[in-house]
Amino acid sequence: MISRLNVNDFDDALDDLTDILHACVQDGASIGFIHPFTPDQARAYWQNRVRPDLKTGALDLFISSDNRRILGTVQLIPAAMPNQPHRADVAKLLVHPKARRKGLGRALMGALQGRAAQLGRTLLVLDTRSTDPSRTLYQSMGFKIAGEIPNYCRNPFENRLEPTTYMFKDLS
């Protein structure tokens, strides 16, 4: 089941969101964090970075759940600048490692694209580490590669830099 999480339900979801983020980073996801990475740091991300923007409406937070737990999440962040009313960023597509290969990432992205269309956002933009499997998912969903930046992000486990691919999708 895919739904948009509202700020009133955020506290009830916080433990699951923390677990997903922590598990994804432990599994090697390059989503802005490096090892060592603790559950407390994951919780702080959700509380300090996501909750305030969710409260003000600066982002939409989608979740995938099985009626017991949240298994995946993704964020839609509409551009705030006056010259970009048509654009939104896709951020932090996360599926718990134990729940992968079941179509949850694709379903989350589908809900996100539907919401973007509702908001009149016709251009989606994202970035992903060039070697991450998510790049294949995004391409299969019609995202195109805009370019690659070498040495953009640090590997979560090792002190080495890796390239990031910028991608976009025109929804119009």
Domain borders along the chain are: 2-170
Q: What would the pLDDT profile of 109-159 be if each residue is shown by its tens digit? A: 999 999 999 999 999 999 999 999 999 999 999 999 999 999 999 999 999
- In the chain the first and final C-alpha atoms are separated, in Å, by 26
Is residue 21 within 8 Å of 40, Cβ to Cβ? no
Mean pLDDT of 69-79: 98
Per-residue pLDDT, 67: 83
Per-residue pLDDT, 110: 98
Q: What would the pLDDT profile of 159-168 be if each residue is shown by its tens digit? A: 999 999 999 9
Q: To the nearest whole number, what is the mean pLDDT of the chain?
A: 97
Mean pLDDT of 77-89: 97
Does 4 score more than 90 pLDDT?
yes
Selection from 122, 163, 169, 162 nearest residue 146 by Cα = 169
Does 6 score more than 90 pLDDT?
yes
Residue 17 confidence class, pLDDT cut points 50, 70, 90: very high
Does 47 score more than 90 pLDDT?
yes
Does 46 score more than 90 pLDDT?
yes
Which positions ≥6 away from 161 have C-beta within 8 Å? 150, 151, 152, 153, 154, 155
DSSP H helical segments within the chain, as ranges? 10-26, 39-45, 51-56, 104-118, 134-140
Q: Domain 2-170, CATH 3.40.630.30 — does that match?
A: yes
What is the rounded CA–CA span in Å between residue 29 and residue 85?
Answer: 30
Selection from 22, 37, 20, 21 nearest residue 154 by Cα = 37
**What is the number of alpha carbons within 13 Å of residue 89 lying toward its C-beta?**
12
By the 10 Å C-beta count (0-12 exposed, 13-18 middle, 19+ buried), 67 is classed as: exposed
